[in-house]
């Protein structure tokens, strides 16, 4: 059984992801790239996102910061903005009330 710092029991749920990896391929480094990840709550409890961390400031994640009811989805709108031309392999770490938390999403590409 897992406990939070204040000793309350963490109530878990289950999710599915539409994808956990995306490659933007080759693109002009000045062009902002966007992708959407879809998390679906397939459990019986609310899905609560505690925190989302990115591996660099070049990635932002926008989402509705409210608990997700069973049967509903959460859209994670991810934006990558290169500061210069580079190949990249970045991660988005999601902390929430699922068994495998934290888990990671990955974005890669080649900003030319």
Q: What is the DSSP string of 52-90?
A: EEESSTTEEEE---S-B-TT-EEEEEEEE--SSSEEEEE
User: What residue numbers bound the domain in which 84 lies?
Assistant: 15-111
pLDDT tens for each residue of 80-94: 999 999 999 999 999
Domain assignment of residue 8, yes or no: no
- pLDDT score for 10: 78
Domain assignment of residue 2, yes or no: no
pTM value is 0.88
- pLDDT score for 3: 40
How far is residue 107's CA from residue 44's CA, in Å, rounded to a whole number?
Answer: 30
- pLDDT score for 8: 54
Query: What's the domain count of the chain?
Result: 1
pLDDT tens for each residue of 35-71: 999 999 999 999 999 999 999 999 999 999 999 999 9
């Amino acid at each position: 059984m897992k406990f939070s710092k204040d000793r309350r029991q963490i109530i878990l749920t289950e999710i599915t992801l539409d994808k956990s990896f995306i490659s933007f391929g080759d693109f002009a480094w000045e062009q902002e790239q966007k992708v959407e990840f879809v998390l679906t709550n397939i459990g019986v409890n609310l899905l609560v996102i505690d925190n989302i961390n990115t591996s660099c400031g070049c990635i932002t994640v926008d989402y509705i910061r409210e608990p997700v009811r069973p049967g509903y989805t959460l859209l994670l709108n991810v934006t990558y903005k290169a500061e210069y031309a580079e190949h990249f392999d970045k991660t988005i770490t999601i902390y929430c009330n699922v068994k495998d938390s934290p888990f990671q999403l990955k974005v890669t590409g080649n900003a030319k």
